[in-house]
């Protein structure tokens, strides 16, 4: 999805080329994932010659919110509070990140 959000639309080959991880996934793997995303309503496609051109149908923010709601419901009993508490207990969070979270929480209270 990141590639489609950045480019607006892209062929399967464009998506494979833009991925940073190595080794790069196979063309068919990316095509399968894009078709699954299309079935779920996150992308659409049209044909350009022999290539399928995919484009996002949801913006990044909306997709993030949906994924976060799913995460909270599946792993944190539907409680955003439990998610935040687990984040705060994570010893990999930097003091800078914790301070930023504290500031955001203070802003929300006002």
Q: Are residues 75 and 49 in the same domain?
A: no
Q: How confident is the model at residue 93 (pLDDT cuts 50, 70, 90)?
A: confident
- Residue range 44-59: mean pLDDT, rounded: 96
Q: Tally the domains of the chain.
A: 2
**97 pLDDT more than 80:** yes
43 with 54: CB under 8 angstroms?
yes
Nearest by Cα to 5 from 52, 57, 41, 50 = 57
Q: Residue 91: which domain range?
A: 60-109
Mean pLDDT of 90-105: 84
The whole-angstrom separation of Cα 35 and Cα 58 is 15
Question: Are 9 and 41 part of one and the same domain?
Answer: yes
- 47 and 81 together in one domain: no
């Amino acid at each position: 999805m990141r590639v489609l959000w950045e480019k607006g639309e892209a062929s399967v080959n464009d998506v494979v080329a833009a991925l940073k991880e190595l080794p790069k996934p196979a063309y068919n793997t990316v095509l399968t994932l894009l078709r699954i995303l299309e079935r779920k309503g996150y992308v659409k496609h049209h044909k350009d010659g022999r290539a399928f051109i995919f484009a996002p149908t949801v913006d990044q923010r909306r997709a993030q919110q949906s994924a976060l709601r799913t995460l909270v419901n599946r792993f944190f009993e539907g409680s955003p509070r439990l998610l935040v508490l687990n984040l705060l207990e994570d010893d990999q969070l930097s003091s800078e990140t914790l301070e930023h979270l504290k500031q955001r929480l203070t802003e929300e209270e006002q």
